[in-house]
């Protein structure tokens, strides 16, 4: 598809791409809640507690081989939310910078907790 087609049919293209995102990422309101804190520093207790809740929820609900230890999970989330594909989708739905903030928050958690 051409760039012109993509621009003319932006919402259709985004809906098609959004359908490829795993349900866990679309429906996890903790990620949305975290993105709403993006005006705060990633090092704040509020942000880091929420990151910890997300990690705990993932460990409780997903097979261990998918989440691994908290550092591995943080690295995975940082990588996913830093990627152009997820960034475009998540930021379109939750506001510019939401994806980058999540990546930074998990990166901070990984290095400091």
Task: Please determine, for residue 12, whether its predicted confidence score (pLDDT) is greater than 80.
Answer: no
For CA atoms 98, 104, 30, 27, the dihedral sign is positive
User: Among residues 108, 111, 104, which one has the least CA distance to residue 35?
Assistant: 104
Question: What distance in Å separates the CA atoms of residue 2 and residue 22, rounded to the nearest whole number?
Answer: 26
- pLDDT computed for residue 71 by the predictor: 92
pLDDT in tens, 41-99: 999 999 999 999 999 998 888 777 777 889 999 999 999 999 999 999 999 999 999 99
Question: What distance in Å separates the CA atoms of residue 107 and residue 76, rounded to the nearest whole number?
Answer: 10
Whole-prediction pTM: 0.74
Helix or strand run (H / E) with residue 38? none
User: How far are the Cα atoms of 71, 82, 102 from residue 17, in angstroms, in the given order?
Assistant: 29, 17, 20
């Amino acid at each position: 598809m051409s760039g012109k087609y993509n621009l003319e049919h932006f919402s259709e293209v985004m809906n098609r791409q959004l359908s490829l995102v795993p349900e866990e990422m679309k429906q996890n309101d903790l990620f949305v809640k975290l993105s709403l804190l993006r005006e705060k520093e990633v090092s704040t207790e509020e942000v880091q507690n929420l990151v910890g809740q997300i990690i705990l929820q993932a460990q409780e609900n997903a097979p261990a081989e998918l989440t691994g230890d908290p550092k591995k999970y943080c690295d995975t989330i940082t990588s996913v939310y830093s990627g152009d594909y997820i960034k475009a989708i998540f930021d379109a739905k939750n506001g510019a910078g939401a994806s980058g903030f999540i990546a930074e928050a998990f990166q901070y958690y990984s290095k400091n907790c």
